Amino acid sequence: MTKSVYRTGLLSAAHFAVDFSCAFLIYHCFLSSSDLALIILLYNFCAFALQLPIGILADYYGRPERFACFGCLLCAVSYLIPLAIPAALIAGIGNALFHVGGGCEVMASAPDRAATLGVFVSPGAFGIYFGALLGTRAFPFWLPPICLIALCVLCVLHVSEVKEKKASSSNHSNKYYLLPSLLLFLVVVLRSFSGFAQVFEWKQGVLALAAVCATVFGKTAGGFLSDRIGLRISGVISLGVSAALFLLSSHAAAGIAAIFLFNLTMPMTLFALSQQMPEQKGCSFGLLTFALFLGFLPKYFGIQIPVSTGLLLCAVSLISLVLYLPAVKRS
């Protein structure tokens, strides 16, 4: 096993643990709080929107593994805070620090591949799902922070050896990256919005877990697929076919397939933007997570769109495809 593969696997496991611990904390401790809506808003702002300024800092100071380790520790410390809002703020900041640090490490270890990004980002959905599920059940409260501290130690011992390689694409001029960056930003806003809009009658019990699996494995597969056949063709397959399947998403099989295909673009957008901004990996990572936060806001404020779920998601997929293709033309 190469150091790069081991490093990516370690950071992916830490990604699961960080997202699990944050979801578990909120569902275990604060689900019945009268301030739950505010807690969720503040947590999501810290966990996603703050990744942009943290990414800029990571680009400036370097050593992103330190950001990842500090993020793990902050998530563990949040379990010691008895007050809901401060605990949520600390957990959210820790989550943001880890994501930026881990994402930068993964991109530095394999700058010419989207597959490693897909492997890194995908376990987060499992972490959130199982953290929320076990947060309402009898599960040892002390276990998540202990695991986070252990993973932090492993990251210090093994991840800090990484030496950034230059991407083969970094020698071209990024003079024209502003428009592609804006288009990719909008694609991720739409993907985030669609994730909260995926409310189906069949999405319960085992089928709900199947939808989460489709999300996770879709993100993983997207990186490998785009490395094999390119960003543009992969985008057409992902967004074009999912648009058609979303029209049939009232049926579980079609809906799960659509979710899988739609999530192929997750590592593809991250990788495409990192190629546009090869010297600002932290900023590129944070920019797209800020887009995730914006996509969460319509759901949070209860904005309703008077069309069926399938038709809405089909339209989102097609609009995303129109935005995505010119954004990756130079990649």
The CATH number of 3-161 is which of 1.20.1250.20, 1.10.10.60, 3.40.1710.10, 1.10.10.10? Answer: 1.20.1250.20
Dist. CA 226–CA 34, nearest whole Å: 45
Q: Largest Cα–Cα distance in the chain?
A: 55
Mean pLDDT of 172-195: 84
Residue 175 confidence (pLDDT): 54
Neighbour tally for 253: CB within 10 Å: 13
Mean pLDDT of 164-174: 46
* pLDDT tens per residue across span 243-295: 999 999 999 999 999 999 999 999 999 999 998 888 899 999 999 999 999 99
Give me the percent of the chain exceeding a pLDDT of 90.
Answer: 68
Do residues 266 and 99 touch, judged by C-beta distance below 8 A? no
Which pair of structure tokens corresponds to residue 68? 């990842």
Which pair of structure tokens corresponds to residue 177? 């990256």
Residue located via tokens 């050593």? 63
Dist. CA 269–CA 285, nearest whole Å: 10
State the pLDDT confidence band at 305, using cuts at 50, 70 and 90.
Answer: confident
Which three-class secondary structure state does DSSP give residue 258?
helix
Query: pTM value?
Result: 0.91
* CATH 1.20.1250.20 intervals, the chain: 3-161, 174-327
Dist. CA 256–CA 242, nearest whole Å: 10
Residue 169 confidence (pLDDT): 44
Do residues 88 and 26 touch, judged by C-beta distance below 8 A? yes
Homologous superfamily in CATH for domain 174-327 = MFS general substrate transporter like domains (1.20.1250.20)
First-to-last C-alpha distance (Å) of the chain: 29
**In 27-61, which positions are buried (b, 16+ CB within 10 angstroms) versus exposed (e)?**
bbbbeeeeeeeebebbbbbbbbbbbbebbbbbbee
Output DSSP code: residue 84.
Answer: H
